[in-house]
Amino acid sequence: MKTLSTTSLEAGRMKRKAKLANQSVQKKLYIIFTLMFIALSYASFLVLDNSAIDYLTKEDGVFENLTAIYFLFSSLIFLYLFFTAKKGNDFFIFKTKKNMFFLIIALIFLLGFGEEISWGQRIANFRTPAFMRSVNSQKETNLHNLEIFNRMDDSGSLKSGLGLIFTFDKIYALFIFGLYIFLPLSVKYLPSISRLIKKINIPIFDLAIGKFFVINYLLSKLIEMFRAHLTINAQHSLFEIKETNFALLFLISGLLMSDSIKKYK
């Protein structure tokens, strides 16, 4: 009996090691794919002529469709995590059976998908409601182009104060910074905050993903700096490429989280 017990424990350890090794290989493959995609996306901007890059980054073009697809699959992955992760949240005054943060993230990415396709407006070819047309800078059925979230006011001047802070770009940047940079760094370097995060059971993403967000942002800014006097179309193309890469990183973060889901059971 003792021999069987020892053999069983050894088999369990070997199985866990094999699983960890498999997760390590998958992580490396995800990182390699991400690096290649980001590099090729910016290379296409630098190498292709204006007409080709305009075609790839146009409304409902290749990059915009990829962004929508990445958002949709990111949402589905986090919805899957919500239903499969066994460990819930401890909010001190109440507890949950499921991790509500997975559901919130899934809904945010679903919102991103809907916004990217203007909630199917161009697919179904329906008109923008009158109340939305009056407050939407592009006269489309979406939230991110509402004038309240725009960096410019009605006169075309840059907003100031709270008006400049409360823009879609700033909210989006805060979401990325908080979830993919601040929280992972806090868990790693701030013990008191780390204990609180772990008690509440906030999902912590691999810091490598946060680094990729920073790299993607810096690459877009470097291209802006060294390719002076970009046309309006070129600026739009560069923005679309950056946004597609962000959406890909959301998807990769979900895949990595899915691989380590047992941490949340």
pLDDT band at 264 (very low <50, low <70, confident <90, very high): very low
**Residue 16, CB half-sphere, CA atoms under 13 Å: how many?**
7
Helix axes of 232-259 and 2-47: crossing angle, nearest 10 degrees: 180
Do residues 98 and 82 touch, judged by C-beta distance below 8 A?
A: yes
- What pLDDT is stored for residue 155 in this prediction? 59
Cβ contact 141:119 at 8 Å: yes
Q: What is the helix (H) or strand (E) element at residue 238, kind and residue range?
A: helix 232-259
> Which amino acid does the sequence have at 91?
F
For the cut 50, the answer to whether the pLDDT of residue 92 exceeds it is yes
Q: Where are the domains of the chain?
A: 2-264
pLDDT in tens, 108-141: 999 999 988 887 778 778 888 877 787 777 778 7
Please name the amino acid found at residue 28.
K
* Average pLDDT, rounded, for the chain: 86
Nearest partner of 35 among 200, 211, 184, 188, judged by Cα: 211
Give residue 164's Cα distance to chain centre.
23
Q: How far is CA 152 from the centre of its chain?
A: 25
63 has a pLDDT exceeding 90: yes
Question: Six-digit token pair at 71?
Answer: 């958002």
* Distance, CA of 179 to CA of 210 (rounded, Å): 8
Which residue type does 152 have?
M
3-state secondary structure of 158: strand
The structure's pTM equals 0.87
Residue reference for tokens 């909210």: 171
